[in-house]
Amino acid sequence: MTDEPVVITAYPDGPLLVRGAAELRTPDGQEVARTRRTVALCRCGLSTIKPFCDGTHKAAGFRTDD
Ligand code: FES
């Protein structure tokens, strides 16, 4: 971990973009490996590579509240 702040940005009609050295964990506490400093987390529930976004939200017409 670094002192760099973690920034999470919710993209309209899309994923949560996580920038910085955040640890990702499964509900039972297992660490989720990440290979990039910026990752997109699925919030539509349709990705085939959960917890990461694979772009399926676009084809599915996923919409978020404004
Ligand atoms: S938010 Fe992109 S696939 Fe779910």
For 10-59, the pLDDT digits (tens) are: 999 999 999 998 999 999 999 999 889 899 999 999 999 999 999 999 99
- Residue to mutate, 18, 39, 62, 63, ligand 1, most ligand atoms under 8 Å from C-beta: 62
* Residue at 2 is within a domain: no
In which band, very low, low, confident or very high, does the pLDDT at 4 lie, cut at 50, 70 and 90?
A: confident
Strands of 16-19's sheet, edge to edge? 7-10, 16-19, 38-41
CATH number at residue 16: 3.40.5
* Residue at 65 is within a domain: no
2 pLDDT exceeds 60? yes
Radius of gyration of the chain (CA): 13
Range of the domain at 24: 7-60
In which band, very low, low, confident or very high, does the pLDDT at 1 lie, cut at 50, 70 and 90?
A: low
- Give the total number of structural domains in the chain: 1
* Residue at 1 is within a domain: no
How remote is the CA of residue 10 from the centroid of ligand 1, in Å?
12
pLDDT value at residue 38: 94
H-helix or E-strand spanning residue 60? helix 56-60
CA angle 7, 49, 18 (to 5 degrees): 5
Atom of ligand 1 nearest to the CA of 54: 3
CB atoms within 10 A of CB 12: 8
* Residue at 39 is within a domain: yes
pLDDT value at residue 43: 97
Do β-strands 16-19 and 38-41 pair in parallel, antiparallel, or remain unpaired? antiparallel
